[in-house]
Amino acid sequence: MGKIFKNMIPYWKWILFIIVFLIIQAFCDLSLPEYTSDIIDVGIQNHGVGHILPEKMTEEDYEAAQFFMVSDEKDKFAGCYEKTDDGYALSADEKILDEMDEDLIVPLVMVYQMSQEQASGGTADEASKMQAMSGEQLTDDMILSMREKLQDKIDSVGTTTLKSMGVAYAVSCDKNAGIDIDDIQIQYLWKMGGKMFIFAVAMLLAAVAVGFAASKVGAGIGRDLREKTFTRVVGFSNAEINKFSTASLITRSTNDIQQIQMVTAMFLRMILYAPILGIGGIIKVVQTDSGMEWVIVVAVAAIMIFVFTLVGIAMPKFKIMQSLVDRVNLVSREILTGLSVIRAFGREKEEEKRFDEANRILTKTQLFTNRVMTFMMPGMSMIMYCITLGIVWGAAGRIDDGTMQVGTMTAFITYAMMIVMSFLMLSAMSIMMPRAGVAAERIDEVINTKSSINDPQSPKKNDDHKGKISFEHVSFKYPGAKENVLYDIDFTAEPGKTTAIIGSTGCGKSTLVNLIPRFYDVTEGKIVFDGIDIRDYSLEELRQNIGFVPQKGILFSGTIASNLRFGKSDATDEQIKKAAGIAQAEEFINEKPEGYDSPISQGGTNVSGGQKQRLAIARAIAKEPYLYVFDDSFSALDMKTDAKLRKALEEVTSNAAVIIVAQRISTILHADQIIVLDEGKIVGKGTHEQLLSECDVYRQIARSQLSAKELGLSEDSGKEA
C-alpha cells in the first residue's frame, strides 16, 4: 500500500484541501441528526418550546410558580423576569435558561403536577396542605420537607419526562398569558428546517469540492504514472522488453494504472472520510448519554471480524488476478496479430480453445473473489438491521421509563448508522486496495527496472563522422543464456563500400546487426564506430548517424510523408521524394490520389508487404546517415525492383558504409565484402568470387540458389561439388 501512498506525495496540498473539506462535510453530516432530534422532541412534542421558563407569565402564574421554591431559587427565578403592564416577561439569555432548566425543574414540575391534579378534579394531600397554607409564610425547611415527600414520585418519571413536564408547564403559562403557541411551534420548525437546509447545502458543496479535488489528484497520478512508465519502457533495451513481454507492459500501462487512479480518487473521498465520520459519530453517541454505547462496540467488533474474514479468504486470489489478465492479453494479441495465418491453416477452433482456456482460468478466479465478496453487502446489511433492532429494543424501555425521548433514539440510530457506514466504506475499499496494491507493485517494478543499455556518464562526441564501423573480436550471448550466439566476430565496414552478411537461418545475422545501434550490448570485444567504441557515444548521437531498416518493415499511423520524415522531421519535400525514388516507391505513391499525403494505417496494414518494405528503406535514406544497415530488407522485393533499388542506392551511399543482411545471393553479388556466418562464427570473408573458390558454406548457399552457369562455374566443377 505504501507504493500507492508514495504517488500522492506530490499532491499533498490538494490532499490537505480535501481533508479540510471532508471535516466540513462530516461536521454538517453529524449536525443533521441533532436537528432532527430537536424537531421531534422540541418542535413536535414540546410545541417548539425549548426551556421550562415561560416567555410570559400572568401575575397569578408568577406567584404560583414560586410555591415550592426556596429563597435562593426564588431569587434566581425573579432575576429572569421583568415586570410589565400585563404580567412578567422573560429577560434571561440562552445560557441562563440552560442553567434554570436544571436548577428550577423540580419546583416548577411540582407546581405543574399540583395544577394538573386540581384541573382533573382529583385531590392530593400536599396540594391541600399547600392551599391551606397559601396565606401563610412558608419557610425553606417546610418547602424542602414537602419536596422530599414528592421526590420519589418525581424521580420515577425519569429526567427526560421531567424536562417534558417542565416544558408543558411553560406552555400552559404562555397560553394563560395570551401567547400563540402554534405560532411559536411553526417558527421553531421553520428555524430548524432552515438550519438543516443550510447544513445540507454546505455538505453538498463540500462533497462536490472533495470530489473535484480527489478526481484531479487521481487523474494527475494516473498521468504521472503513464508518463513515467512510458518513458521507462521507451528506454528499455530488447532484453527488458523480452523480460516483461509486450502484452504485460500494455496491461501495466493501461489496466494497472487505471486501477490505481480509480482507487486513489475513492481513497481520498471514502477512506479519509470514514475515520472522520466514524470518530465524530462515536463522540456524538457518547454525548447523547443514552447508556447504549455497548451496541456500537458490538457492531464494530462484528464488522471487523466479518470484513477481515472475507478479505483474508479473497486476498491470495487478488494477487494472481493481474498475471491472469496479462495472459489473456497475450493470447488475444497473438491471435489478432496472426489472424490471417490462423485462417490460412484452419486453426480457428484450436485458437478459440486456447483463448477459452486462458479466459476460463481468469473467469474462475474472478468468480471466486466475486462470490466471496457477494457476502459483503448482505452481511453488512444484516449487521446494520441488527444494530437498528438492538437500539430500538434498548431505547423502548428507556423511553417507557422516561429517561429517553423519541428524538434522541432517532439521533442515536442515525449516528450508529454513520459509524457502521464508515466501516462499510473501509470494507468496500478493502476489496479494491489489494488489487490496487498488486497493480502498484507491477508498475513500480517497471519504473524501477533500469535499462541495460544506457548513455555513458561522459559521452564522447565526434564531429567528423565517416561511417567506418569495426567489429573487434565480438562475442555475444542473450541475457540469461548460457552459451554465446556469436563468437569472435571480427571485420570492418568501410565508408563507400558495401558489406554483406549471409548465412543459414538462425546463424546470428540479425543478432549481429542488432548490436550496431545497441539494441543489445556485446558480451566480449567491442564495436568501434569512426574510431570510438559505440558504448562511449550517447545513444542519441549513435543512432542519429545510423539508418536502420529492420527485418520486418514497420510503419506508423499517419501519412506516407510523415513516415518518411520519421527519422528526420525537417526533411524537405524534395528530400523525401528523392528517397522514395531511390527506394523504388515513387511509382506506387504517385498512383495514389493523395500522393505523399495518403494515409497509412497502424502497422501499415493498408499497403502491401513490398510497398511497406520500400517505404521503410526510403525512411532510412531520407535520414541521410553515415551508416546504412539493411536487415534482410529486400526479401519482399522482386528481382527487377531489387536490382534497380540497389543500383540507385549506390548514388547516395558513396560517402557512407552499407551493411546488408541477405538471404539471396543475387542481392549481394556485387558487395565489396561478404561475411559468411555459420553457427555464430565467421567461416568466410571476401568478395563473391573469392568465397566461391575458398568457402564451402558460401558455395553451398550459392549453388542452392543459382545455376553453375549463373555463378560462372563449369558443369564439371558443379558436379564435383
Can you spell out the DSSP letters for 475-535? EE--TT-SS-SEEEEEEEE-TT-EEEEEESTTSSHHHHHHTTTTSS--SEEEEEETTEEGG
DSSP state for residue 329 in the 8-state scheme? H
For residue 528, pLDDT over 70 is answered with yes
Over residues 598-614, the pLDDT tens digits come to 998 877 888 888 888 88
Q: Out of 14-18, 226-230, 366-370, which region has the weakest mean confidence (pLDDT)?
A: 366-370
DSSP string, 523-553: SEEEEEETTEEGGGS-HHHHHHTEEEE-SS-
Instruction: Give the other-Cβ count within 10 Å of 603's Cβ.
Output: 14
Mean pLDDT confidence for 566-588: 89
What is the overall mean pLDDT for the chain?
83
3-class SS at 124? coil
For residue 408, pLDDT over 90 is answered with no
What is the pLDDT confidence band of residue 152, given thresholds at 50, 70 and 90? Answer: low
- Of 143 and 552, the one with more pLDDT: 552
Per-residue confidence (pLDDT) for residue 204, from 0 to 100 = 94
Over residues 77-133, the pLDDT tens digits come to 888 999 988 889 988 888 898 888 888 888 888 888 777 776 665 544 444 444 444
Q: How far is CA 49 from CA 40, 173, 175, 526, in A?
A: 12, 12, 12, 96
Q: How far is CA 298 from CA 176, 214, 390, 420, in A?
A: 50, 33, 10, 11
Over residues 324-336, the pLDDT tens digits come to 877 887 888 788 7
What is the pLDDT confidence band of residue 138, given thresholds at 50, 70 and 90? Answer: low
For residue 405, pLDDT over 80 is answered with no
Q: Which domains does the chain have, with CATH numbers?
A: 2-26+205-287+317-445 (1.20.1560.10), 56-178 (no CATH), 467-545+625-721 (3.40.50.300), 551-624 (3.40.50.300)
- Dihedrals φ, ψ of 599, to 5°? -70, 145
Rounded distance between C-alpha atoms, residue 712 and residue 689, angstroms: 9
Closest CA to 657 of 613, 617, 614, 626: 626
Mean pLDDT confidence for 23-43: 86
3-class SS at 673? strand
CA 153 to chain centre: 64
CA 619 to chain centre: 40
Q: Out of 53-67, 502-516, 706-720, which region has the weakest mean confidence (pLDDT)?
A: 706-720
Mean pLDDT confidence for 295-307: 78
- Of 346 and 201, the one with more pLDDT: 201
Q: How far is CA 664 from CA 43, 89, 311, 358, 667, in A?
A: 98, 115, 62, 41, 6
Rounded distance between C-alpha atoms, residue 278 and residue 379, angstroms: 19
For residue 8, pLDDT over 80 is answered with yes
Rounded distance between C-alpha atoms, residue 360 and residue 632, angstroms: 41
Rounded distance between C-alpha atoms, residue 318 and residue 310, angstroms: 12
Per-residue confidence (pLDDT) for residue 526, from 0 to 100 = 93
The three-state (H, E, C) secondary structure of 170-193, written as one string = HHHHHHHCCCCHHHHHHHHHHHHH
Q: Compute the C-alpha angle 491/497/499, nearest 5°.
A: 45
Rounded distance between C-alpha atoms, residue 437 and residue 311, angstroms: 14
User: 153-156, long-range: CB within 8 Å, 24+ apart, which pairs?
Assistant: 154/106, 154/109, 154/110, 156/402
Q: Out of 280-289, 424-433, 456-465, 691-700, which region has the weakest mean confidence (pLDDT)?
A: 424-433
Asked if 431 contacts 373 with a C-beta cutoff of 8 angstroms, the reply is yes
Asked if 438 contacts 318 with a C-beta cutoff of 8 angstroms, the reply is yes
Mean pLDDT confidence for 506-532: 91
Mean pLDDT confidence for 239-247: 80
Rounded distance between C-alpha atoms, residue 546 and residue 256, angstroms: 36
Per-residue confidence (pLDDT) for residue 322, from 0 to 100 = 66
Mean pLDDT confidence for 220-237: 88
For residue 360, pLDDT over 50 is answered with yes
Which cell numbers hold the place of 37? 432530534
Instruction: Give the other-Cβ count within 10 Å of 466's Cβ.
Output: 18
Over residues 642-686, the pLDDT tens digits come to 788 888 888 788 888 999 998 888 888 888 999 999 989 999 999
The three-state (H, E, C) secondary structure of 262-321, written as one string = HHHHHHHHHHCHHHHHHHHHHHHHHHHCCCCHHHHHHHHHHHHHHHHHHHHHHHHHHHHH
Closest CA to 331 of 349, 354, 299: 354
Over residues 262-293, the pLDDT tens digits come to 888 888 888 888 888 888 888 887 776 666 77
Rounded distance between C-alpha atoms, residue 390 and residue 295, angstroms: 7
User: What's the pTM value of the predicted model, to 2 decimals?
Assistant: 0.68
Closest CA to 5 of 444, 316, 448: 444
Asked if 112 contacts 169 with a C-beta cutoff of 8 angstroms, the reply is yes
Per-residue confidence (pLDDT) for residue 125, from 0 to 100 = 47
